[in-house]
Amino acid sequence: MNMAVMEEAIGYFEQQLATLQQLSGNESVLDRGRAYGNLGDCYEALGDYEEAIKHYDQYLSVAQSLNRMQDQAKAYRGLGNAHRAMGSLQQALVCFEKRLVVAHELGEAFNKAQAYGELGSLHSQLGNYEQAISCLERQLNLAREMKDRALESDAACGLGGVYQQMGEYDRALQYHQLDLQIAEETNNPTCQGRAYGNLGLTYESLGTFERAVVYQEQHLSIAAQMNDLVAKTVSYSSLGRTHHALQNYSQAVMYLQEGLRLAEQLGRREDEAKIRHGLGLSLWASGNLEEAQHQLYRASALFETIRHEAQLSTDYKLSLFDLQTSSYQALQRVLVSLGHHDEALAVAERGRTRAFADLLVERQTGQQGSDPYSPVTIDQILETVNGQRGLVLYYSLAAGYLYSWLLAPGAGILKFHEHYLADSVVEVDNPSDFQAGSSVTLPMATSSALEQHIASVREALGVESYYSR
């Protein structure tokens, strides 16, 4: 997309709107509404979703006042896509459902199929898999009735994605193969690349990493031929993950660095955060701890910023929570390996206070106050400790380890101790055990086992002897 062309188009449509404001009659009003819709499309293409929503709302208002069903369908679609892009998934759901109702009233098979596809895709994103499958199967049937191969391909792609999310990988492969077959028969390189990418992701989920690499390389080749920068970003990221899983860390780093360059160029911050997270893990695994900590710091900060800005969308924040947790845990491990125990403590506290910060933001809506997302520093922690009358023992669970810091007022960190939790939690003993594109969820140890670990840590730190002095 050429940004200059889009901005020029906005200027043209605004001039058209100014002219139409001076005219009366239903046709002029309708043209005015469509100009709002065109402006919405331009702002959506530029990534300014709030402006897009404002203009789509005005388009919808005009379409409803004139009872123009086709225009209502277009406005609802634009609103749904813009809300979805902002992470406001429930609002997007309402818009897509209304669009489907309008499509049924119009009675056109193509509009109905398209509406079912968009609604199915959103249900899949929300984790409503039964509803997603129902919608996408309807899209598939309508596409076959119309003999519309492109729509059939889209429906097959969507169904493959849902079954993949459900862990039904054999069915996912069947639908992704169907998508690829249709794309090859219709000579559609965009859909070929999409299908190769999805087949690669499915084989990655199955742990068949060598085969995943083959498909992702085909995905990358097509993306490069078409100069599709978004597809190249996705394929570089996927190749980085699979090579990491194969313990080809130097290749993983190379692919992830290429993906990072493109994600930054395109302004795709969520992709950038995920790639930095994966790059940090691959650098850690290859022994480059200094650069690993840099990437994990950047990833954690980006995840925090994205969650902060998406404070009105709980769904979106939750989708990033596990990855952010994994970044904080990996960062603690790297910092401890570097001997930066004070920084590791600050990172542990940041991870602990995230949920509390979200709650504060909800309660402070519309109020002035300090930013609860401001990163905790070691100086702030020591200031809190200085206000205590006795020793402070701080614990953190980080990827298979129990870290402990013994702090004293006026003295700071007296001792640091790390304790491997062995069988009490899932073993994540080194960075090769992480998946660069997914999260690591650590079940809590039983309370009695954790108490035993804490008791041994207290003994190792000499806590009782400090109190007996």
What does the domain layout of the chain look like in residue ranges? 384-468
| C-beta separation of 156 from 140 below 8 A | yes
Ramachandran angles phi, psi of 68, nearest 5°: -95, 100
3-state SS assignment for residue 148:
coil
Read off the amino acid at residue 295.
Q
Cα–Cα dist 119/50, whole Å:
21
Q: Tell me which DSSP letter residue 439 carries.
A: -
Q: Long-range contacts made by residues 205-210, C-beta under 8 angstroms, separation at least 24?
A: 205/164, 205/167, 205/169, 206/169, 207/245, 209/242, 209/245, 209/246, 210/246
| DSSP-assigned states of every residue in 12-35 | HHHHHHHHHHT--SHHHHHHHHHH
Cα–Cα dist 8/370, whole Å:
40
Q: Long-range contacts made by residues 340-346, C-beta under 8 angstroms, separation at least 24?
A: 340/293, 341/405, 341/413, 341/416, 342/378, 342/412, 342/413, 343/378, 344/396, 344/403, 345/378, 345/381, 345/394, 345/396, 345/405, 345/413, 346/375, 346/376, 346/377, 346/378, 346/381
Written as six digits, the tokens of 54 are: 């404002």
Written as six digits, the tokens of 412 are: 């700071």
Per-residue pLDDT tens digits of the chain, which is 469 residues long: 567 787 788 887 888 878 877 777 788 889 899 999 999 999 998 889 999 999 999 999 999 999 999 999 999 999 999 999 888 899 999 999 999 999 999 999 999 999 999 999 999 999 999 999 999 999 999 999 999 999 999 999 999 999 999 999 999 999 999 999 999 999 999 999 999 999 999 999 999 999 999 999 999 999 999 999 999 999 999 999 999 999 999 999 999 999 999 999 999 999 999 999 999 999 999 999 999 999 999 999 999 888 777 644 555 566 677 788 889 999 999 999 999 999 999 999 988 887 665 555 555 554 444 455 577 889 999 999 999 888 999 989 888 899 999 999 999 999 999 988 865 443 344 565 544 444 333 344 455 555 666 676 667 666 555 544 4
3-state SS assignment for residue 428:
coil
Q: In what order do the strands lie in the sheet with 392-398?
A: 392-398, 401-408, 412-420
| C-beta separation of 426 from 401 below 8 A | no
Helix, strand, coil percentages, rounded to 5, for the chain: 75, 5, 20
Sequence-ordered list of residues with C-beta below 8 angstroms from that of 356, at least 6 positions apart, any chain: 372
Cα–Cα dist 175/195, whole Å:
9
Nearest 5°: CA angle at 178, between 176 and 183? 95
CA-based torsion, 249, 253, 259, 264: positive or negative: positive
